[in-house]
Amino acid sequence: MDNIRTGAFIKELRKEKGLTQKELADALHITDRAVSKWERGLCAPDISTLESLSAILGVTISEIICGERCGNAAPPIVEQRVQEAICYSEKQLCEKTQRIKKGFAATAAILVLIIAMATASILWWTGILAVEGRFESPDGKYTVTVYGRDVAIDRFASKDAVTIKKRGAAQSTVIYENCRFGGLWWSPDSTKYVTALEEQRGTRLVLCDTENHSNINMNAVISAGGGKDVRYKFLQWSADSRAILIYYSRGENSDFTEGYFWYDLNTWTHFADFEISK
């Protein structure tokens, strides 16, 4: 195809039909700039537009390709072959487009999967997915974040563990193994908090003193009549943050007893014991 010859032919036919470049472009669903380039011989019509272009200009496709009216010079078989070539090219183009779309979709799916896996790995590594709760002290100086697994040392451990991170005026991280989180309660004056850790043998209460930076196993220091089979539960803080109210129970069935008592954290003694009658 001679671009200059074909372009001049298109321009001649367009004017014969009384069409502007824009009107021809609109009919072909292209821009008038494209038509202008054809007529100046800068490029040739795309093969996908030849059929529509020939219909609008009232000539055969082979005549557009030749850049002149052929009359009877081009037998019908030539036009048929040109039509077949166009149909084949359009089919090939469609198939190629479909392959590109499928390839793009597959690539996009793989990228989404990679991003999702990377995001999940980051969330797992940082422990965000394992957060059991965040507990702010009444004065707002501290925030304790509790994680339902070891997120500080053995991040891929499968055994039960609780990680407690305290952030604020002072920071600390404590890991408790072989247990699950049961609750956390700040004292009214924000100097201490009690954490409940659910273990196989019962609930362990741990007192964290933010001023002395200590963690005390309260089960080892409190008692309600003695005995290793006593089970404890935290109930509440006293208004002055000096004592904690503890529920206790021991035994089973006919030997079961329960009650509660206040435990003074300054004198490390319990008082106001009360046993619940059966």
- Are residue 226 and residue 141 in the same domain, yes or no? yes
Indicate if 61 and 137 belong to the same structural domain: no
In tens digits, the chain (278 residues) has pLDDT values of 688 888 898 899 989 989 999 998 999 889 999 989 988 988 888 877 888 888 998 988 888 888 888 765 555 655 565 665 566 556 656 766 787 888 888 888 898 889 888 888 887 777 888 899 999 999 999 999 999 988 888 777 767 899 999 998 778 899 999 999 999 999 999 999 999 999 988 899 999 998 888 899 998 888 754 556 788 999 999 999 999 999 998 888 778 888 999 999 999 888 877 877 65
Residues 59 and 196 in one domain: no
Q: CATH no. for residue 51?
A: 1.10.260.40
Judge if 139 and 268 occupy the same domain: yes
Q: Does 116 fall in a domain?
A: no
Q: Is there a contact between 152 and 163 (Cβ–Cβ < 8 Å)?
A: yes
Eight-class DSSP state of 226: -
Q: How many domains does the chain have?
A: 2
Is residue 137 domain-shared with residue 260, that is, in the same domain? yes
Q: Do 55 and 134 have their domain in common?
A: no
> Is residue 160 a part of any domain in this protein?
yes
Domain of 68 in residue numbering reads as: 3-74
Alpha carbon distance 138, 170 (integer Å)? 16
The CATH number that applies at residue 178 is: 2.130.10.10
Q: Alpha helix (H) ranges present in 127-270?
A: 218-221
Q: What are the start-end ranges of the H helices in the chain?
A: 3-16, 21-28, 32-39, 50-57, 61-66, 76-126, 218-221
Residues 6+ apart with CB under 8 A from 242: 264, 265, 266
